[in-house]
Amino acid sequence: MPLPPYRIKVVEPIPFLSPEERAGALHLAGYNPFNLRADQITIDLLSDSGTGATSAAQEAAAAVGDESYAGARSWFRFLDEVADLTGYPHILPVHQGRAGERILFGTLLRPGQICVSNTHFDTTHANVELAGAEARDLPCPEALDLDSHEPFKGNIDLTALAELLAGPDGERVGLVLMTITNNGLGAQPVSMANLQAVHALCRQHGVPFFLDAARFAENAWLVREREPEYHGWTPREIARQAFDLADGCVISLKKDGLASIGGCIGLRDDDLHARCEANLIATEGFSTYGGLAGHDLERLAVGLREVVDPAYLSARAAATTHLAQLINEAGVDTVQPAGIHALYLNAGRLLPHLSPAEFPGHSLGCQLFLDGGVRCAELGSLYLGTMDEQHRLVTPAPFELVRLAIPRRVYSQEHFEYVAETLAGIAKDPERITGYRIVSTPPILRHFKVRLAPLP
């Protein structure tokens, strides 16, 4: 197995609660892991966003962060890195990805238009709809077979995209947004061939093509591993080619920026840039900081170099694949093949005694916390299903999954073994696990604030 190209310099203690304390904590949290306190969690796999460890070089850079209101040195360091990486002539900083989405979609999309994607991430979907447009997902058919080992299950369905663009709704398509890697569908990568074809279709129909590039480096690594033409390319070269194909991007830099906060918009079009910049200044901050502190910009400038290091990416990819093997050996299926930033457990298959309306993914997630203090997120009917006014499930999600997101440079192999052992314990006697019912839900983005209760 490739060794991580770093050693640990600063550590943070992790809590170990008793099973009784965890049961009490989950009850008080309304059985929603988002309501748990971090000091109740032993291994936190809720998100890979903003949860990574920074390097000594990043912290050294942060110490010389320039906090000037306008034109700070730190801004120019950040700008040089992002412009060199992406090649876009206009870069706007934002405090995180969804702020970039709000500004870009609010400026680019008109009410009634359609934004098409391989799969919109949840906040991305919400921001498209808040702009009055429709978010439409066209994942490739291979993505729907969770067990298949097809290398690029993150791709968009090109036939469906071509039909949409040429058909009666084609006029309404205001944007094609490719999410790399496809976080909503199993952390699967998008091939360069798919991006090239999307680029050609968008050119043909005069539709803007953007990347949601939160995991641009991890996508590049998987392209290098799985798409023969790109063997031997550096991750940076592959990422650059992806950016070259698009008219612009939104990036949450909380992932492959290797920092706890940050994001950016990259643009080619001068007029779109001027309009986004006006919105940015009114809502996020001046266009040389965009809601970020100088020390954040410094950490990001260094992080964006470190993240494309092949030694780092190969060790991270191998660690995730290894965890998938341990989990599969424990008798729990995961979406295949393993991606990099997260593993997706097939809860529907592990808990066939629970119907989608009893939220098997949520049950499995809760059990991981109750048994091992492991926090993760449901990606099933609780997150994606449609409900009636009494919170009863009307349309289930296509799959009942649980996402184990892997923070960058944080957990060691022993931590992963512990997670797999906890799952093995659950897989030995899955029938003891009961379902859940919804007690109350918020108007949008249900999973963040929903409260539940266990079924008897």
What is the CA 269 to chain-centroid distance, rounded? 27
* Degrees, nearest 5: CA angle 416-312-47: 50
The active-site residue out of 48, 157, 212, 256 is 212
CB within 8 A of 15, min separation 6: which ones?
39, 40, 41, 42, 373
In the numeric block, the tokens 């289930």 are attached to: 396
The active-site residue out of 214, 301, 324, 397 is 214
Of the two residues 105 and 312, which places its CB atom closer to ligand F0G in the complex? 105
What is the CA 392 to chain-centroid distance, rounded? 28
Q: Is 256 a catalytic residue?
A: no
Closest-CA residue to 120 (of 52, 196, 175, 197): 175
In the numeric block, the tokens 């009634």 are attached to: 112
Kindly write out the interface string for residues 72-101 of this chain, putting x where it contacts ligand F0G by CB under 6 A and - elsewhere.
Answer: ------------------------xxx---
263 binds ligand F0G (CB under 6 A): yes
Of the two residues 263 and 291, which places its CB atom closer to ligand F0G in the complex? 263
- From 120-128, 137-145, 196-204, 320-328, give the range in contact with ligand F0G by CB under 6 A: 120-128
Of the two residues 214 and 351, which places its CB atom closer to ligand F0G in the complex? 214
102 binds ligand F0G (CB under 6 A): no
CB of 96 to ligand F0G, least distance (A): 3
Q: Is 447 a catalytic residue?
A: yes
DSSP 139: B
Q: Is 90 a catalytic residue?
A: no
Task: Looking at residues 20 to 49 of the shown chain, list those that interact with ligand F0G (rule: CB under 6 A).
Answer: 47, 49
Q: Is 69 a catalytic residue?
A: yes
Q: Is 212 a catalytic residue?
A: yes
Q: Is 39 a catalytic residue?
A: no
214, 242, 300, 406: which one contacts ligand F0G (CB under 6 A)?
A: 214
Of the two residues 104 and 357, which places its CB atom closer to ligand F0G in the complex? 104
Residue 320 CB-half CA count within 13 A: 31
CA separation, residue 32 to residues 64, 225, 258, 408 (Å): 40, 37, 27, 24
Positions of E strands within 223-348? 248-252, 263-267, 342-346
Question: In whole angstroms, what is the distance from residue 381 CA to residue 358 CA?
Answer: 9
CB of 355 to ligand F0G, least distance (A): 27
Burial zone of 7 (CB within 10 Å; 0-12 exposed, 13-18 middle, 19+ buried): exposed
Q: Is 255 a catalytic residue?
A: yes
54, 155, 219, 252: which one contacts ligand F0G (CB under 6 A)?
A: 252
Of the two residues 43 and 433, which places its CB atom closer to ligand F0G in the complex? 43
359 binds ligand F0G (CB under 6 A): no
Give CB contacts under 8 A, 24+ apart, made by 12-16.
14/41, 14/42, 14/43, 15/39, 15/40, 15/41, 15/42, 15/373, 16/42, 16/373
121, 209, 243, 399: which one contacts ligand F0G (CB under 6 A)?
A: 121
The active-site residue out of 31, 78, 88, 121 is 121
Interaction site with ligand F0G (CB under 6 A): 47, 49, 96-98, 121, 123-124, 179, 183, 212, 214, 252, 254, 263, 405
Active site residues per annotation: 69, 121-122, 212, 214, 255, 447
